[in-house]
Structure 1
Amino acid sequence: MPNCSNCGVYMQPTEVYKREIYVGTTNRVNYGKRVSFGNSTHYRKQSVCVNCVNMIDKANEARKRNSTIVLLIIAIAIIIYFSFRR
């Protein structure tokens, strides 16, 4: 039986779902003519259980909602700025 990549619970083969999960970060330094630094974040589709699927989906919805609210606030601020600029 497969186990959940997020919480480790054993799952039935019919209850396996795939979601993008954070798996790590890579930090690198390049020594050439100039020293440069780079960071990258890695995500991978992994098998997760029903409870983790619900948790991941709720977190993604909250992230989308927060992004939409921030973009609307910025748009309203720009509109107000240009309307009172005259």
Structure 2
Amino acid sequence: MADPHHVSDAYVRGSQEIREQESTFEAFMGLTKWGSLILAALLVFLTLWFQPGGSFVSGLITAGVLAVAGFFFLKSGKKH
């Protein structure tokens, strides 16, 4: 009778092709970080525009500065 806890000898750890998983993970991380930057800039813009005494121009300038600074920060990232 076969042992139900016996692991097959056919599988060798690290032998599976993972290129597709790697590209999916990189796409997800890219969308997450750039989407977070866009949301942060949008929230700053809307907050400064609609606060009492706020203005469209001040919100736009601040959101633009945040977006540019965030762009350079995220582009510099980790070097492999």
User: Under TM normalisation by the shorter chain, which class is it?
Assistant: 0.3 to 0.5
Structure having the higher Rg: 2
TM-score under structure 1 length normalisation: 0.41
Q: Which has the higher contact order (CA 8 A, sep 6+)?
A: 1
